């Protein structure tokens, strides 16, 4: 189960951030996931909803995934194209001397959390 | 109560990547080379490692870490067949090893090794995404799997230094074009060295052994 390992990392990091900022609980996690990152969004969300029950702060959290389009750059002709349509081979000149510009990222963008106090919100300076 | 947004903008792999870099630096200080061995299930990782370790262990101190979801059959086999220190790592259901698990295995194995093989979980997807802290990575691709694996699982082939094509003794029975396979690897990773071998017959195992000897003197 490929997605589960990554979900565990996301939950650990979000749980740690919630503790650091003294949040009551996390309502939502927003991620940016590239379409060629090898993550299947439906499986990822299922794994998230199963594994979140074991966290301290994310038991009721929902997950939003922003999908980032895969774009590849061709070193031979300078063109860019959609990776999922053409893969490694440039559709303009046929070269395979290409590299991925964007679309393989797996990023935790932000978390929306509930706070008891209306002030503060940063890490406790006394720690 | 109020709802606020905490900005993280952090790669999921960031913590693991940092731990892996620390592990790599610690290994370099000790003069130990760690090799991450990845392949599909059944590509012949254990058989190949046993054959390779028997050769290398004559002149080098070799250790082995076997990672599996469950069981210790590989660790028992390698320890019995090579006589080298070998620890079994269980990933607890996970499909890959990360730097933390690798660090635990290294502590259990102890110091005093020239070369440590880390046999990752048999899987071409997830192990590629998690840096284990290894000095370099090798992928084993067996003849029965076909020449198109580098096209189907690009990441693991992009991230490796060495591709070993195993089970070449089976070439007469499969439509496996060695040159096509080299091209497919080269298209993904021009820097990767490709060495076809048969651990069963010993064919070209000298070339593989020499590659490791050369690599060990470089680092």
**What are the residue ranges spanned by the domains of chain A?**
2-69+103-114
Positive or negative, the CA dihedral A81, A82, A88, A93 is negative
pLDDT, tens digit, for every residue of A10-28? 999 999 999 999 999 999 9
Q: Reduce the DSSP state of residue B76 to 3 states and report it.
A: helix
* B158's tokens: 């992009």
- In degrees to the nearest 10, what's the CA dihedral of B186, B191, B196, B197? -160
Give, in order, the Cα–Cα distances in Å from A36 to each of A39, A42, B53, B125, B127. Answer: 8, 15, 37, 12, 16
**CB < 8 Å to A11, chain B:** none
CA end-to-end distance (rounded Å), chain A: 38
**How would residue A107 be classed by pLDDT, with cut points 50, 70 and 90?**
very high
pLDDT (tens digit per residue) in B142-173:
999 999 999 888 889 999 999 999 999 999 99
CB burial class (10 A; 0-12, 13-18, 19+) of residue B168? buried
pLDDT at A117 over 90: no
CATH topology of domain A2-69+103-114: hypothetical protein PF0899 fold (3.30.2320)
Domain ranges of chain B: 17-218
Residues in chain A closer than 8 A to B1 (CB atoms): 24, 114-116
Interface of chain A toward chain B, CB-CB under 8 angstroms: 1-2, 4-6, 8-10, 13-14, 17-18, 21, 23-24, 27, 31, 38, 88, 96, 105-116, 118, 121
**Cβ separation B2–A118 shorter than 8 A:** yes
Which CATH number is B17-218 given? 3.40.50.300
Confidence of residue B119 (pLDDT cuts 50, 70, 90): very high
Q: Do B93 and A1 touch (CB under 8 A)?
A: yes
Mean pLDDT value across residues A32-39:
90
Q: Is the pLDDT of residue A126 over 80?
A: no
pLDDT (tens digit per residue) in B7-54: 999 999 998 999 999 999 999 999 999 999 999 999 998 899 999 999
pLDDT for the residue A118: 61
What torsion, rounded to 10 degrees, do the Cα atoms B183, B133, B107, A12 define? -120
Contact B154, B124 (CB under 8 A): no
Over residues A54-77, the mean pLDDT reads 96
The order of strands in the sheet holding B136-142 is B86-90, B62-68, B115-119, B33-39, B136-142, B162-166, B193-196
Question: Which pairing describes strands A62-68 and B62-68: parallel, antiparallel, or unpaired?
Answer: unpaired
Torsional class of B138: left (φ above 0), alpha (ψ -120 to 50), beta (otherwise): beta
Look at residue B137 in the predicted model and tell me its pLDDT: 96
Give chain A positions within 8 Å (CB) of B94: 1, 4-5, 8
What integer is the mean pLDDT of A59-68?
97
Q: What is the mean pLDDT of residues A86-100?
A: 92
Q: Which residue has the higher pLDDT, B123 or B210?
A: B210
Residues A43, B120: Cα–Cα separation, whole Å:
23
The confidence band for A120, taking pLDDT boundaries of 50, 70 and 90, is low
Neighbouring C-beta atoms of residue A32, cutoff 10 Å: 18
Mode of pairing for the β-strands spanning A98-102 and B193-196: unpaired
A63: which 2 tokens? 């997950």
Average pLDDT over residues A63-87: 95
- pLDDT for the residue A127: 47
Q: Which residue in A7, A9, A88 has the most chain B C-beta atoms within 10 A of its own C-beta, making it the best mutation to test that interface?
A: A9
Provide the percentage of residues in chain B whose pLDDT is more than 70: 100
Query: Residues B179-190: pLDDT tens digits?
Result: 999 999 998 898
Residue B92 has pLDDT above 90, yes or no: no
Local structure of B59: helix, strand or coil: coil
Helix (H, G, I), strand (E, B) or coil at B48: helix
Distance from CA of B127 to the nearest CA of A (A): 9
Residues A116 and B154: their CA atoms lie apart, in Å, by 47
List the single residue in A with minimal CA-CA distance to B9: A109
Residues B113 and B61: their CA atoms lie apart, in Å, by: 5
CA–CA dist B151, A76 (Å, integer)? 21
């Amino acid at each position: 189960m490929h997605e589960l390992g990554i979900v565990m990392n996301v939950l650990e990091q979000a749980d740690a951030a919630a503790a650091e900022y003294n949040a009551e609980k996390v309502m939502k996690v927003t991620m940016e996931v590239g379409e060629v990152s090898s993550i299947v969004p439906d499986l990822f969300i299922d794994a998230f909803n199963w594994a979140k029950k074991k966290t301290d702060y994310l038991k009721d959290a929902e997950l939003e995934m922003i999908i980032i389009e895969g774009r590849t750059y061709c070193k031979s002709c300078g063109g860019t194209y959609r990776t999922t349509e053409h893969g490694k081979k440039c559709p303009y000149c046929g070269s395979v001397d290409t590299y991925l510009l964007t679309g393989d990222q797996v990023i935790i963008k932000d978390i929306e959390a509930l706070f008891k106090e209306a002030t503060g919100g940063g890490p406790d300076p006394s720690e | 109560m109020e709802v606020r947004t905490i900005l993280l903008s952090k790669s999921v792999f960031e913590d693991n990547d940092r731990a892996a870099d620390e592990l790599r630096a610690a290994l370099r200080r000790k003069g130990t080379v760690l090799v991450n061995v990845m392949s599909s299930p059944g590509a012949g990782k254990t058989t190949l490692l046993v054959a390779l370790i028997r050769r290398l262990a004559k002149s080098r101190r070799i250790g082995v870490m076997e990672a599996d979801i469950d069981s210790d059959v590989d660790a028992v086999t390698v320890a019995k067949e090579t006589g080298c220190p070998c620890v079994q790592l269980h990933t607890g259901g996970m499909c890959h090893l990360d730097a933390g698990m690798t660090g635990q295995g290294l502590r259990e194995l102890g110091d005093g090794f020239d070369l440590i093989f880390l046999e990752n979980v048999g899987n071409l997807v997830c192990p590629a995404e998690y840096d284990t802290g290894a000095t370099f990575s090798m992928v084993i691709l067996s003849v029965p799997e076909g020449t198109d694996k580098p096209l189907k699982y690009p990441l693991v082939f992009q991230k490796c230094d060495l591709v070993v094509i195993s089970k070449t003794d089976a070439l007469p029975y499969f439509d496996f074009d060695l040159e096509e396979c080299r091209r497919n690897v080269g298209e993904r990773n021009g820097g990767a060295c490709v060495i076809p071998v048969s651990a069963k017959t010993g064919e070209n195992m000298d070339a593989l052994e020499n590659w490791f000897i050369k690599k060990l003197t470089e680092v």
